[in-house]
């Protein structure tokens, strides 16, 4: 046991504290005579990372405070001062440069801020304490979401640092389920626009409207939605722009993608939501959703314009409808670096949970017998990822690998006689094999004896006691993943699954659940089992970061498999079978580094990485990645002449219309 007595005043920042812990070895303890809540929480989280994530190497710790990085010369480096050409009120109104009351005295004088701020200079930690106290006064989750949005519009460092320090608590506020409430109330809560609004009745303006957001080198990451299938709450029309915003928040928070180099976009095609159409305050196109040729032309105009204007940008498709999500991805994936989180992200994180569970249960991917209940975008996306991984591991065709998977939808098991989408056809079973069976979930479980059962049906309580017990009879450690969101739509709850399987099941869910206690220990002793959450945020930000940093021309299957292996390798259950199958959001930035590293190495091996100078050893590559990740910390400002300044220094990033002209740059 190491004891390090320090005063709070000696802790310059949380990164330094974490580095100090790492230097002490495996059993650090810091004693603080008068600890603040912030430092105690950060200390607890740092120790938890060491105790519960033993596979996170020392090279994954931040290295900024004890030596200058050898990669500080890179354009995306976060070392050193930031050039700034704006002063006074303009500086205070630039969220990614604003420090508020944390501007030191010398910067207040140099940047004409004297008289614009209260006299006292506060630290970021003091600002965090104030902001958190303000946050707690909000009476409900939607009010907390609105407060955080307002904070983001004022001070990005403070916003992201507050989220980072309270991530397990605030994750559900800035994403599902609360973000779903904000999206449903978009037109009623609207204060100021965030993102690019394109509408299908102005297709000819798509290029012009996108061009306002920057020069070719300004945008790295675009999230685009058409708002048709939002977070399990359906068609939300133009309000879907907030899912694009939320996904980019997670990309910055979890993987350090620079927030002022991202662009949220909504493609307003109308809406089939009558509640919105009949709402006088609705802000989107007041018409039924456009489909068919005009819709395809609209999407194509967006993709072409985005690629022409921002040729290095990675495009993330989000919450498109069932009939379009997979079709659009398949159309553009062979040609541009793009990704669909609903199709690929869910599949990746689920496969990571499966791989970890198979390791715990001493099985191989080739042993898999997978039943998926719910054959929509998420279900088929999971099937795709699992099939591709089996094919790669066994060196067999995708058609042969698909025989390990059974898909069930509303009519029952998908067979060659079912009415199938193009994506479902790959997994249809021969109807002659099921001629005398009804194809229900129970029938399939009894016949197939699966070792993995996944729910993406949004049908609550579909995994009944009879079904779970039937599965447990056929396999030693059943792997059961009820993934439907929100919680009320789960096919089963972990407590029931553990009870019906006598604690043998390996479980991951689509929403967070508390640990489950039961008499499943040695000699019937009570044990507490932590439930993993299949949270896409442990995988999609890292995939995006790796693709952006490597400037990948495409996102290949092998890059996705590499991402999955990165997440699975950090499973806490590999060390303790009562621990969750997946790493949690409290260590997500470390996970994102591992995912990005694997993705970049795969991109290089596949020949799709175009960035020069990518390190070829893991230690240097991790440092190269971390040096280019944005961190929510105040950096010194360096005053530069406006006429010679970059757009970032002028406060013009993500400010539409700030360009001297609009056209083909």
Q: How distant, in Å, are the alpha carbons of 367, 478, 484 from that of 370?
A: 10, 11, 17
What is d(CA 217, CA 83) in angstroms, rounded to the nearest whole number?
17
Pairing of strands 506-509, 532-533: parallel
What is d(CA 30, CA 336) in angstroms, rounded to the nearest whole number?
49
Signed CA dihedral, 529, 535, 540, 546: sign only: negative
Residue 220 annotated in ligand binding: no
Coil/strand/helix, residue 151: helix
**Angle between the N-to-C axes of helices 293-309 and 322-332, in degrees from 0 to 180, rounded to the nearest 10:** 40
What is d(CA 248, CA 316) in angstroms, rounded to the nearest whole number?
10
Question: Where does residue 612 rank: exposed (0-12), middle (13-18), buried (19+ CB within 10 A)?
Answer: exposed
Coil/strand/helix, residue 164: helix
Confirm whether 247 is a catalytic residue: yes
Cβ neighbours around 345 below 10 Å, total: 28
Residue 342 annotated in ligand binding: yes
Q: Are 654 and 645 in contact (CB under 8 A)?
A: no
Which of the residues 175, 207, 282, 310 is marked catalytic?
175
Residue 502 annotated in ligand binding: no
Cβ neighbours around 133 below 10 Å, total: 9
Confirm whether 498 is a catalytic residue: no
Which of the residues 99, 247, 601, 650 is marked catalytic?
247
**Residue keyed to tokens 């961190």:** 631
Residues 6+ apart with CB under 8 A from 23: none
Q: How distant, in Å, are the alpha carbons of 46, 49, 62, 336, 376 from that of 21?
A: 8, 11, 12, 43, 46
Which tokens go with 292? 């068919």
Which tokens go with 301? 């105009």
Residue 395 annotated in ligand binding: no
Q: Strand pairing partners for 224?
A: 265, 317
Residue 371: what are its φ and ψ, rounded to 5°? -110, 125
What is d(CA 563, CA 544) in angstroms, rounded to the nearest whole number?
10
Q: Are 492 and 513 in contact (CB under 8 A)?
A: no
What is d(CA 564, CA 155) in angstroms, rounded to the nearest whole number?
34
Residue 654: what are its φ and ψ, rounded to 5°? 65, 20
Cβ neighbours around 515 below 10 Å, total: 12
Spatial CA neighbour of 562 closest among 479, 618, 613, 630: 618
**Angle between the N-to-C axes of helices 346-360 and 557-568, in degrees from 0 to 180, rounded to the nearest 10:** 50
| CA angle 183–185–191, rounded 5-degree value | 95
Residue 485 annotated in ligand binding: yes
Task: Outline where DSSP puts E strands in 390-443.
Answer: 405-409, 412-413
What is d(CA 568, CA 355) in angstroms, rounded to the nearest whole number?
6
Q: Are 382 and 397 in contact (CB under 8 A)?
A: no
Q: Strand pairing partners for 508?
A: 532
What is d(CA 315, CA 338) in angstroms, rounded to the nearest whole number?
5
What is d(CA 54, CA 50) in angstroms, rounded to the nearest whole number?
6
User: Which amino acids are annotated as binding site for a divalent metal cation, given as ranges?
Assistant: 318-319, 342
User: Which amino acids are annotated as binding site, given as ranges?
Assistant: 318-319, 342, 485, 535
What amino acid positions are annotated as catalytic residues?
Answer: 175, 247
User: Which amino acids are annotated as binding site for (S)-malate, given as ranges?
Assistant: 485, 535
């Amino acid at each position: 046991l190491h004891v390090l007595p320090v005063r709070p005043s000696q802790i310059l920042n949380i990164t330094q504290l974490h580095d100090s812990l790492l230097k002490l070895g495996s059993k650090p303890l810091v004693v603080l005579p008068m600890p603040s809540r912030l430092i105690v929480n950060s200390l607890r989280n740092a120790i938890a990372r060491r105790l519960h994530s033993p596979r996170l190497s020392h090279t994954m710790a931040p290295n900024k405070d004890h030596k200058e990085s050898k990669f500080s010369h890179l354009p995306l480096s976060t070392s050193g001062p930031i050039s700034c050409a704006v002063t006074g009120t303009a500086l205070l109104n630039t969220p990614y440069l604003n420090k508020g009351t944390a501007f030191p005295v010398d910067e207040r004088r140099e940047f004409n801020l004297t008289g614009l701020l209260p006299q006292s200079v506060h630290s970021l930690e003091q600002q965090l304490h104030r902001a958190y106290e303000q946050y707690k006064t909000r009476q409900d989750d939607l009010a907390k979401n609105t407060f955080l949005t307002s904070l983001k519009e004022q001070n990005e460092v403070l916003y992201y640092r507050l989220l980072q320090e309270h991530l397990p608590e605030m994750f559900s506020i800035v994403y599902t389920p609360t973000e779903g409430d904000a999206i449903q109330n978009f037109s009623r809560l609207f204060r100021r626009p965030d993102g690019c609004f394109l509408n299908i009745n102005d297709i000819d303006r798509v290029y012009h409207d996108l061009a306002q957001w920057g020069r070719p080198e300004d945008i790295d990451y675009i999230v685009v939605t058409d708002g048709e299938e939002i977070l399990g709450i359906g068609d939300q029309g133009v309000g879907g722009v907030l899912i694009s915003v939320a996904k980019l928040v997670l990309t910055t928070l979890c993987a350090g993608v620079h927030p002022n180099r991202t662009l949220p976009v909504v493609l307003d095609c109308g809406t089939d939501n009558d509640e919105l159409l009949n709402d006088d305050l609705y802000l989107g196109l007041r018409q039924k959703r456009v489909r068919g040729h005009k819709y395809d032309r609209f999407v194509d105009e967006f993709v072409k314009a985005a690629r022409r204007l921002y040729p290095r940008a990675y495009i993330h498709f989000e919450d498109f409808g069932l009939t379009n999500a997979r079709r659009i991805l398949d159309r553009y994936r062979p040609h541009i670096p793009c990704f669909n989180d609903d199709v690929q992200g869910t599949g990746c994180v689920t496969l990571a949970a499966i791989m970890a569970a198979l390791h715990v249960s001493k099985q191989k991917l080739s042993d898999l017998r997978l039943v998926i209940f719910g054959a929509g975008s998420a279900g088929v996306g999971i099937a795709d990822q699992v099939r591709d991984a089996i094919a790669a591991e066994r060196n067999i065709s995708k058609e042969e690998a698909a025989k390990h998977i059974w898909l069930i939808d509303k009519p029952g098991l998908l067979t060659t006689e079912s009415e199938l989408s193009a994506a479902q056809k790959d997994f249809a079973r021969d109807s002659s094999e099921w001629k005398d069976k009804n194809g229900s979930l129970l029938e399939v479980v009894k016949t197939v004896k699966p070792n993995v059962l996944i729910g993406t049906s949004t049908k609550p309580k579909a995994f009944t006691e009879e079904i779970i017990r039937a599965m447990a009879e056929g396999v030693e450690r059943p792997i059961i993943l009820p993934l439907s969101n929100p919680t009320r739509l789960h096919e089963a709850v972990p407590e029931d699954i553990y009870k019906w399987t006598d604690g043998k099941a390996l479980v991951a869910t689509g929403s967070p659940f508390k640990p489950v206690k039961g008499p499943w220990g040695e000699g019937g002793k009570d044990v507490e089992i932590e439930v993993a959450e299949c949270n896409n945020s442990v995988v999609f930000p890292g995939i995006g970061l790796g693709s952006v940093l490597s400037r990948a021309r495409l996102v290949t299957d092998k890059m996705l498999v590499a991402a999955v292996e990165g997440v699975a390798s950090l499973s806490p259950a590999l060390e303790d079978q009562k621990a969750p199958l997946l790493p949690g959001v409290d260590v997500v930035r470390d996970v994102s580094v591992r995912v990005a590293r694997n993705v970049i190495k795969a991109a290089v091996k596949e020949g799709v990485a175009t960035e020069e100078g990518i390190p070829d050893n893991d230690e240097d590559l991790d440092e190269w990645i971390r040096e280019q990740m944005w961190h929510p910390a105040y950096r010194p400002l360096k005053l530069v002449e406006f006429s010679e300044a970059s757009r970032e220094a002028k406060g013009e990033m993500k400010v539409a219309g700030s360009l001297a002209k609009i056209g083909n740059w």
